[in-house]
Structure 1
């Protein structure tokens, strides 16, 4: 059994962290060990529950501690891994360099971003990504990208083209599948269409653009509810509440906060909407919704269009009118053409089963690590 050492920036509630957890949980052929540069976050304990060793360096965000780097060096030497897989820019840079200094050459990076925009991405993130680009031909053996667009964007940034490989995310289809187990509290008997969006409160998710689109939908199809789920998506978020009230969407939009029962939520929705304007790589929520047989309306960010294929709707980012038109089309199809709607739901599930299962993702990582 080979030892795989994963070094990740942190273990909070995010897409990269979720993929790392699924990979470790379903990789039965290797011993997986995780080092978080920060703390345990959400996934540290979950990883430990599956038997994965987790070490935390507790480096504060935006800081570098020499003592932590020394500890990382010693941990790498202590574990003596066969493979070192780093995740996200900071871990790619710090973990990759320290691993090479510790004498380990079998280093693999993992890129989870697609776009890096000066006015929207953090300056520190852009600087770290550029630093990684300069040493990408020297440090990693291969560079795993979560999306085709991520690969092309980073090659333009200066990353070594010949080292790039794309591995799409994989999903546990025994957890995400069509079922009748729905959350009745999400719906209202006076409405007959429920849409939702799962995503933390962050400018890249463009919740404001989504609300503008819902305002347009309201004027054309009044009988709908929208449930917004995610970190900081709650009634304490005065910014969101102000936008909802300004647009007169109080009776249509519910802020549900962070939830753990995502599969149940996806099964409860008629459609899942992703309104992101940038920054997505391989958006998990789109695949999770589709695995549950829930059609998606998404902006054309990252590899969202690749995931959806012909099973849903893809519109340009930052275009509330286009987003609203797609939502209205979905509402009309469900109400006026039940057979087409059922065919669409079936196609959603089949696309994920055929292309993005967890077993396929694990197999792809094994091929990269051991080929």
Structure 2
């Protein structure tokens, strides 16, 4: 693997083989790992899981995936069908999933369990107890600040802490998440930081912008309140009032139909139909990134290490993001991109103005 040093942290760009994976490229497996995931969405964490599925066979690990929710992962991950199964929970308290997963473990001769969410951490801890297998937990974002629903965050954090008592090893995708786990009482010897990585994107952005041309901004995400979509729209309203030549494309699905309706209603009420467009979900992030002049990620609170930021940097596309956990580990303000204050449309608009008006720097 190759690495470039950003903010004192190794951010890996995966070798090209991971971008063009075929099952025949795998070496003989020495251990079988079952990744227990939610599976309902296909966003940043799921792309990490996809890359693990492609990359681990190269290192002698056969990776299978069990989704505990019906959803998009089996269809979109691009892994062989026999490697991805759905073992659905019929609600939050459907503990029959433990026995069903234990049978999967036995049938597939699984040797290691690997969980990726608070829900699957609890389930996996029970499966590990039943089967006697070791298990690993992958921390993708701060559970205590994972959504705008405070009560749900607290419940999920309690579940996570309870489950992790029996976990042999935790992997965090950033140093900020390692600090978070230390604050939660996890011992140092159980923690390892493994930064996210992305396949190299070719061709990278090389064209020089013309002074009179319009900047095409993109916000690529699973659209939900924590991503700051409303702040982005309010910032675009300020830029429109200043007559700056920018457009914004919202690329990604919405978490719920209700949130989609509220967001698109706000877009219309701000009079932004001529400069903000929603193009929906895409599974081809590299092509989406290559078509942008800059990438926008106005997260309201803690990220882990956003995959879409790494994908933009891999394509030499500047990023305007917010100063929340995780993101400053890969974006230095004024170097790889610009950092605004989270939740502030004014701050975000100022950073976007700086980007457009100092276009020669990018």
Same fold (TM over 0.5): yes
Cα offset, 1:161, TM superposition: 4.1
Inter-partner Cα distance in structure 1 for 2:304 and 2:264:
28
- Residue 139 in 1 paired to residue 162 in 2? no
Structure 1 residues without counterparts, runs of 5 or longer: 182-189, 342-371
Cα offset, 1:100, TM superposition: 2.5
**Preserved CA contact (<8 Å) 1:15 1:284:** yes
Counterpart of 1:314 in 2: which secondary structure? strand
Q: Which residue does 1:55 correspond to in 2?
A: 85
Q: Which residue does 2:69 correspond to in 1?
A: 38
- Residue 249 in 1 paired to residue 272 in 2? yes
Inter-partner Cα distance in structure 2 for 1:7 and 1:177:
35
Cα offset, 1:330, TM superposition: 0.7
Q: Which residue does 1:306 correspond to in 2?
A: 329
**Preserved CA contact (<8 Å) 1:7 1:84:** yes
Counterpart of 2:273 in 1: which secondary structure? coil
Please identify, of 209-218 and 240-249, the stretch whose mean Cα deviation from structure 2 is larger.
240-249
Cα gap change, 1:112/1:179 in structure 2, threshold over 3 Å: closer, same or farther? Answer: same
What do you get for the CA RMSD once the two structures are aligned?
2.7
Please identify, of 307-316 and 240-249, the stretch whose mean Cα deviation from structure 2 is larger.
240-249
Inter-partner Cα distance in structure 2 for 1:54 and 1:119:
27
Moved over 4 A (4+): none
- Residue 93 in 1 paired to residue 122 in 2? yes
Inter-partner Cα distance in structure 2 for 1:262 and 1:119:
24
Cα offset, 1:279, TM superposition: 4.1
Inter-partner Cα distance in structure 2 for 1:167 and 1:296:
22
- Residue 322 in 1 paired to residue 352 in 2? no
Inter-partner Cα distance in structure 1 for 2:331 and 2:93:
40
Structure 2 residues without counterparts, runs of 5 or longer: 1-29
Cα gap change, 1:297/1:119 in structure 2, threshold over 3 Å: closer, same or farther? Answer: closer
User: What is the correspondence of 1:285-296 to structure 2 with a 5 Å cutoff?
Assistant: 285-296=308-319
Please identify, of 241-250 and 112-121, the stretch whose mean Cα deviation from structure 2 is larger.
112-121
**Preserved CA contact (<8 Å) 1:89 1:125:** no
Residue of structure 2 aligned with 1:172, choices 194, 199, 203 = 199
When the two structures are superposed, what TM-score results if normalisation uses the length of structure 2? 0.81
Cα gap change, 1:161/1:150 in structure 2, threshold over 3 Å: closer, same or farther? Answer: same
Cα gap change, 1:54/1:206 in structure 2, threshold over 3 Å: closer, same or farther? Answer: same
Inter-partner Cα distance in structure 2 for 1:13 and 1:122:
24
Cα gap change, 1:95/1:317 in structure 2, threshold over 3 Å: closer, same or farther? Answer: same
Cα gap change, 1:300/1:98 in structure 2, threshold over 3 Å: closer, same or farther? Answer: same
When the two structures are superposed, what TM-score results if normalisation uses the length of structure 1? 0.79
Q: Which residue does 1:121 correspond to in 2?
A: 149
User: What is the correspondence of 1:1-371 to structure 2 with a 5 Å cutoff?
Assistant: 1-27=30-56, 28=58, 29-39=60-70, 41-47=71-77, 49-50=79-80, 53-60=83-90, 62-104=91-133, 106-114=134-142, 116-117=144-145, 120-121=148-149, 123-136=151-164, 138-173=165-200, 175=201, 177-178=203-204, 192-232=214-254, 237-309=260-332, 310-334=335-359, 337=360, 340-341=361-362
Q: How many pairs were matched up?
A: 324
Cα gap change, 1:135/1:38 in structure 2, threshold over 3 Å: closer, same or farther? Answer: closer
Inter-partner Cα distance in structure 2 for 1:319 and 1:130:
30
**Preserved CA contact (<8 Å) 2:38 2:69:** yes
Inter-partner Cα distance in structure 2 for 1:282 and 1:114:
11
